[in-house]
Amino acid sequence: MTSVLIVDDDQPLARALSIALSANGYEVSVASDGPTAIAAAARSAPELLLLDLGLPGLSGLDVIRALRGWTQLPIVVLSARHQEAVKVAALDAGADDYVTKPFGMEELLARIRAALRRQGGDEESSVVEAGEVTIDLAATRVERDGVPVHLTPKEWAALSILVRHPGRLVSQQDLLRQVWGPGYESESEYLRTVFARLRKKLEVDPAAPRHLITEHGVGYRFEP
CA distance 152 to 82: 37
Give the mean pLDDT of the chain: 89
pLDDT of res. 86: 85
CATH number at 8 reads: 3.40.50.2300
Judgement on whether residues 103 and 186 belong to the same structural domain of the protein = no
Judgement on whether residues 77 and 27 belong to the same structural domain of the protein = yes
Judgement on whether residues 20 and 114 belong to the same structural domain of the protein = yes
State what percent of residues in the chain have pLDDT above 90: 51
C-alpha closest to that of 179 among 206, 151, 160 = 160
Looking at the 3D structure of the chain, how many domains does it have?
Answer: 2
Q: In 10 A of CB 117, how many CB atoms?
A: 9
Does 124 have pLDDT greater than 80? no
Among 6-20, 95-109, 112-126, 171-185, the range scoring the smallest mean pLDDT is 112-126
Judgement on whether residues 8 and 113 belong to the same structural domain of the protein = yes
Q: Which domain holds residue 41?
A: 2-119
Question: Of 74, 96, 119, which marks where a domain is finished?
Answer: 119
Answer yes or no: are the C-beta atoms of 173 and 105 closer than 8 Å.
no
Judgement on whether residues 107 and 134 belong to the same structural domain of the protein = no
CA distance 88 to 215: 33
Tens digits of per-residue pLDDT, 4-38? 999 999 999 999 999 999 999 999 999 999 999 99
pLDDT of res. 122: 41
Band of residue 123 on the pLDDT scale cut at 50, 70, 90: very low
